Chains A and B, each alone.
Chain A
Amino acid sequence: MEQIMKKLEILAESAKYDVSCSSSGVKRQNNGTIGSTTAAGICHTWAADGRCISLLKVLFTNNCAYNCEYCVNRRDNDFPRASFEPEELAKLTYEFYRRNYIEGLFISSAVEVSPDYTAERILKAIRILRYDYQFAGYIHAKIIPGVSQEILHEIGLVADRLSVNIEMPNSESLNKFAPQKKPKQIFTPMKQITNTLIERGALVGPGTMFKGQNVNVAGNLVGLQAIKGSRDLTVPIRRKRDGKDFAPAGQTTQMIIGAGGESDASILTTSENLYRTFKMKRVYYSAYVPVVKSPILPDLKSAPPLQREHRMYQADWLLRFYGFTTSELFKNKDENLDPDMDPKVAWAIKNLDRFPIEINRASYMELMRIPGVGDTSAKRILRARKLAPVGYDDLKKMGVVMKRAKYFLTCCGKYYGDRKFLPETIRNAMLGMENGLQMSMFDTHQNLLTAASQVQLFDNNWKRLEQGAALEKLSIAGVI
Chain B
Amino acid sequence: MDYLYDGTFEGLLTCIHHHYYTAKATGIYTKESYQMNLLGDFLEVETDEAKASIVYDAMEEKISHFAVRCMYKTFLSNVADKEMKILRFAVMGFRTGPKFTYMHGNDIVIAIETAVRQVGNEAERMRQFVRFSQMDGGVLYGEIEPEHDVLELLPSHFCDRFKNEPFIIRDVGRNKAIVALKGQWYITDFGEGDMPDYSTDEVGYRRLWKKYFDHIAIKERINPRCQAGHVPLKYRKHLVEFQLQTDDFERTI
Contact = CB atoms under 8 A, between A and B. Distances in A.
Interface in A223-269: none
A383 interface: yes
Nearest to B204: A1
A56 B224 CA distance: 21
Interface in A84-122: 92, 95-96, 98-101
Interface in B162-189: 162-165
Contact of A12 (B212, B230, B240): B212
Nearest to A384: B104
A304 B220 contact: yes
A56 B212 contact: yes
B31 interface: no
B40 to A, nearest CB: 32
Contacts of B231: 45-46
A99 B207 contact: no
A448 interface: no
A394 B160 contact: no
B104 A304 contact: no
B250 to A, nearest CB: 15
B221 A45 contact: no
Interface residues of B, number: 51
A397 B218 CA distance: 38
Interface in B194-233: 204-205, 207-209, 211-227, 229-231
A163 B162 CA distance: 28
A45 B241 contact: yes
Nearest to B223: A50
Interface stretch (B12-20, B55-63, B130-138): B130-138
B207 A5 contact: yes
Interface stretch (A28-36, A192-200, A423-431): A28-36
A17 interface: yes
A99 B161 CA distance: 12
A213 B217 CA distance: 40
A12 B215 contact: yes
B244 interface: no
Interface in B90-140: 99, 102-105, 110, 127-134, 140
A403 interface: no
Given A1-B204, A34-B165, A49-B222, A96 B209 contact: yes
A53 B213 contact: yes
Nearest to B209: A101
B161 A384 contact: no
B129 A45 contact: yes
Pairs of residues from A and B, 5 with the lowest C-beta to C-beta distance, nearest first: A50-B226, A394-B105, A47-B217, A50-B223, A49-B221
Interface of A: 1, 4-5, 8-9, 12-13, 15-17, 29-30, 33-36, 38, 42-53, 56-57, 92, 95-96, 98-101, 287, 289, 303-304, 306, 380, 383-384, 386-388, 390-391, 393-395, 397-398
